[in-house]
Chain A
Amino acid sequence: MKSKLFLCLLLIVGLSILAACEVQSDASSMYKKEQPLQVSFVSPGEYEKHQKEKIQFEVLQNEKKAQNLQFVHVSVWSSDRAFNVEMVEANLEQDGSYSLDVDFPKDGLYYVQIHTANETEVITPTRRTLVGKLSKADSEKLQSNTPTAGGSSGHQH
C-alpha cells in the first residue's frame, strides 16, 4: 500500500506543478513588435464659440514624433452636421506638432478627427470635443451606445 500512496503523492505534486500555467504579461516582448502611430492632443478637449481656437496635436511613433507621414489631415464637425470642415491639411508647427485653427459657430458637441498615415498603416482617431455647454440631444447621444459615423472613412487616399 505504501508504494501506491507514494505514487499518488508523486502524481499530486506533479499535477500541482504543471496545472494553472498562464501566459505572462510580458510574453509579447519575445515576439514581433509593431511601432503603431499614435495621436496625442496638446490642446484640451473643451473650447469656446466664436473664438479662433487652435486644435493642436502630435503624431507619435515609438514615443517620438513620427517621421515619413504621407499626410496629416483634420476634419471637424458638429454632432448635427451643421458645421463641417472636411480633410483640411494640418499646419506643421516649429516644434513638430500639428495644428488647425477653428472658429466654432455655436455651443455643443463636436468631433475632431485626425487622419494620417505612413507606409504601413492609416489611423483616424476621432476625439469628442465640447464647445460651451452640452445640449440635451448631445448629452443623450453621448450616453447612447450608437456610434457616430466618422467624417471621412479614408477612401480618398
Chain B
Amino acid sequence: MKRNTQLYKTVWRWHFYAGLLIAPFLLILAITGGIYVFKPQIEHVLYEEYTDIMPGTTKIDADAQVALVQAEYPEALITSFKPGETDGNSSQIGMVEGDASYTVFLNPYTSEIINKLNNDDRIMDKIEEFHGELMLGTVGDRIVELAACWTLVLIITGAYLWMPRKKKPQLGGTLFVRLDKGKGVLRRDLHAVPAIWLSLGIAFLVATGLPWSGFWGSNFQSAVTNTGHGYPPGIWTGNPPDSITQTKDLAEVPWAAENLQVPESTIIPDFEKVALATVVENAEKRGMATGYSISLPQTVGGVYTVSAFPPRAQDEVTMHMDQYSGAVLTDYRYDNYGTMGKVIAWGITLHKGAQFGLLNQLMSAFICLGVAFLIGSGFYLWWKRKPTKKLGAPQAISARKSYGFMAVLIIMGIIFPLVGLSLIFIFFVDYVLIRRIPKLRAFFNA
C-alpha cells in the first residue's frame, strides 16, 4: 500500500472514531451554546417582572437593603449584593439558605422584596451548567474538555481528508457542494465542504472555551498568570489577597479570651466588618458607577470582591477591599492584564457572543448551528455506507507505519493532558481487548 494511502486511511480512521465518540457531547455543546449566547435577551424576558422597577426619588443604602433581606430571612447567609444597573432596575442580593442559593430581588425605592428566586431554577444557569459540565460536576467538566480537545483532532484530521489531491484542484467538492455528481458525492460534500468553511470558527470557539475548562484551563491560566502576562491572580485563578487590617494574627480582641466563654476555635476579630456603604463609596470613587456586584467576605481573613464583567472585555473590573477597613487592596482593570490575559478576556467575551452585541451573538449561534449540521451530515455519511454487521471503520494501519501522524497525536496529548490520558486508554483497550478478541477485531476492523 502506498504511504499516502496508508496515511489517508489512518487519518480517516482516527477522524471516524473521534467523530463517533464525541459527536453526542459536541451536539450538546452546540445546542446549549447556541441558546446560551442569547442569555441577556432570554433572562430579560424571563425575569423582567423582578428586575424592572419604577424609579423613585430616594433609595435606601446598600446596608439597609441587605439588613432588610437578612431580617426577612434570618437563617440565610448573605453572600453578595448587586445594585441595579440602571435607576429602573432592582437590587439583587445573593444568599444561601440551607443547601440552596437564592437571589432576592429588592426595590430600593420602596424597600419591597419583589421575589426570592432559587438559583437552581434559573434556566440559563442550567444551560450554562449543561454546556460547561453536562450537569455532572467535575466528571462532566472533564468530559466537555475532552470533547473540546478532540474537536481539534477532528478539525486537523478533517482538514487532511478534505485536502484536494488532484493535480488541478477544482472548486467543486473543496469550496462548493457538487449537486450534480450523484448522491454519494453530495453526501460527502455536505459534510466536508461546510466543515472546511466552519473549521476556523469552530477552532476559535474551542480555543476560546478551553481557558475556562476545569483541568487544562485552570493549569493554563495559572501558568500564564505566573509569567506576569495573564490575568492578575484572584480573577480566574489564584487567591485574592487577605484583609490587611488583622495583620498580626487574624486573632481575636486581646481581652476576649479572659472575658468571654467561647470555644478556642471561635475567632472574634479585633475589628468590625466594614459597612457596605464604604465599599460602594470606594467603588464609585474609582469610577464604577453601575453594573457591578459585591461578594461579601465569608472568612475572618477574607475580602470584599467588587467585580464587573460587562459585555466588552475592555470594561472588566475586579477590586478586592479589606473587610475591616474598606481599603482597596487590588484594583485590576483590563489595562492591567498581561497580553495573554487580554487575549483570553477577548476570547471569553467573543465566545459568549457578548463583545460585539447582536452581530457577535448571531455569528456564534451560526457556528453552533453549523456544528449540529456537521454532526448530522457526518452521521448520515457513515450510516449510508456502514456494513450491516460491522462498524464500517477504515482499516487500521500499524502505528509504526504512520509515525508522523502518531507524533502529531502525541504532541496533542502532551499539550492537552486529557487527550494524552484518553490516548493511553485507547492504546490500552486496543492492545488488551481489540487485538486479542477476534470478534472485536473484526467489528472494529483493527
Q: Cβ of B410 and Cβ of A150 under 8 Å apart?
A: no
Please classify how large the interface on chain B is, using the bins under 10, 10 to 19, 20 to 34, 35 or more.
Answer: 35 or more
Nearest-neighbour CB distance to chain A for B141, whole angstroms, equals 15
Shortest Cβ distance from A129 into B: residue: B253
- Among A30, A31, A155, find the residue whose CB has the most chain B CB atoms closer than 10 A: A31
| B431 in contact with A1 (CB, 8 Å) | yes
Partner of B222, one of A10, A22, A120, A143: A22
Shortest Cβ gap from A140 to chain B (Å): 10
What residues of B have a CB within 8 angstroms of the CB of A150 in the complex?
272, 274-275
Q: Is the CB of A34 within 8 A of B328?
A: yes
B332 at the interface (CB under 8 A from A): yes
Q: How many whole Å from B213's CB to the nearest CB in chain A? A: 13
How many Å lie between the Cα of A156 and that of B321 in the bound state? 21
Asked whether, in the complex, the Cβ of B285 is within 8 Å of the Cβ of A45, the reply is no
- A34 pairs with B420, CB closer than 8 A: no
Task: Name the residue of chain A whose CB is nearest to the CB of B240.
Answer: A28
CA distance A142 to B260 in the complex (A): 9
Contact indicator A34/B325 (Cβ below 8 Å) = no
Q: Which residues of B contact A124 (CB under 8 A)?
A: 274-275, 278, 325-326
Chain A residues with CB under 8 Å of B445's CB are: none
Q: Does A105 contact B (CB under 8 A)?
A: no
- Report the Cα distance A78→B158, complex, angstroms: 75
| Neighbour of B272 across the interface among A3, A121, A128, A130, CB < 8 A | A128
| Min C-beta distance of B142 to chain A, whole Å | 12
Task: Please give, as numbers and ranges, the residues of chain A lying within 8 Å of B278 by CB-CB distance.
Answer: 122-124, 153-154
Contact A128–B253 (Cβ < 8 Å): yes
Q: Please report the C-alpha to C-alpha distance between residue A37 and residue B238 in the assembled complex, in whole angstroms.
A: 24
Contact A4 B431 (CB under 8 A): yes
Segment 273-302 of B: residues with Cβ below 8 Å from A: 273-275, 277-278, 281-282, 285-286
- A28 contacts which of B61, B232, B400, B414 (Cβ < 8 Å)? B232
Would you call B233 an interface residue if the criterion is a C-beta within 8 Å of the partner chain's C-beta atoms?
A: yes
Q: Does A88 sit at the interface, judged by CB under 8 A?
A: no
Interface string of A118-138 (1 = CB under 8 A from B): 001111111110100110000
Select B332's contact among A31, A142, A148, beta carbons within 8 Å: A31
Q: With CB as the reference atom, state the residue of chain B lying closest to A33.
A: B330
Q: How far is the CA of A39 from the CA of B227 in the complex (A)?
A: 33
| CB atoms of A30 and B228 under 8 A apart | yes
Q: Interface digits, B243-270 against A, CB 8 Å rule (1 contact, 0 not)?
A: 0110000000111100111100010111
Residue B21 is within 8 A (CB to CB) of chain A in the complex: no
What's the nearest-Cβ distance from chain B to residue A119, in Å?
8
State whether B414 touches A130 (Cβ < 8 A).
no
Which of B61, B327, B331, B424 has the most chain A CB atoms inside 10 A of its CB? B327
Partner of A15, one of B232, B326, B417: B417
Decide yes or no whether A12 CB sits under 8 A from chain B.
yes
B219 proximity list for chain A (CB < 8 A): 18-21
Contact, CB under 8 Å: B272 / A111: yes
CA distance A123 to B327 in the complex (A): 5
**C-alpha spacing A23/B417, complex, angstroms:** 19
Query: Which residues of chain B are near A20, meaning CB under 8 Å?
Result: 219
Give the Cβ gap from A114 to chain B, nearest Cβ, in Å: 8
Contacts of A143 in B (CB 8 A): 260, 262, 266, 268
Residue of A7, A39, A111, A127 with most chain B CB atoms under a 10 A cut-off = A7
The verdict on A56 contacting chain B, using a C-beta distance below 8 Å, is no
Please determine whether B327 and A11 come into contact, CB atoms closer than 8 angstroms: no
Q: Give the distance in Å from the alpha carbon of A14 to the alpha carbon of B329 in the complex.
A: 38
> How far, in angstroms, from A30 to B226 measured CA to CA in the complex?
8
B406 is an interface residue with CB less than 8 A from chain A: yes
- CB of B150, distance to nearest CB on chain A (Å): 15
Are A153 and B222 neighbours in the complex by a CB distance under 8 Å?
A: no
- Residues in A with CB closer than 8 Å to B427 are 4, 7-8
> Could you pull out 29 A-B pairs where Cβ atoms are within 8 angstroms?
A3-B399, A3-B403, A7-B399, A7-B423, A14-B420, A15-B421, A20-B219, A21-B219, A28-B232, A28-B241, A30-B227, A31-B228, A31-B338, A32-B232, A32-B330, A32-B336, A38-B245, A120-B328, A121-B282, A124-B278, A124-B325, A125-B271, A133-B259, A143-B260, A143-B262, A143-B266, A153-B63, A155-B61, A155-B281
Q: Lowest 5 CB-CB distances: which A-B pairs, in order?
A: A23-B238, A30-B228, A36-B327, A14-B414, A153-B277
Beyond the given pairs A45-B254, A122-B282, A125-B274, 10 more chain A to chain B contacts, judged by CB atoms under 8 angstroms and listed by A's residue number, are A4-B399, A4-B431, A12-B424, A20-B219, A31-B338, A46-B255, A122-B278, A124-B278, A139-B260, A143-B260
B-contacting residues of A (Cβ < 8 Å)? 1, 3-4, 7-8, 10-12, 14-15, 18-24, 27-28, 30-32, 34, 36-39, 44-46, 111, 120-128, 130, 133-134, 139, 142-143, 147-150, 153-155
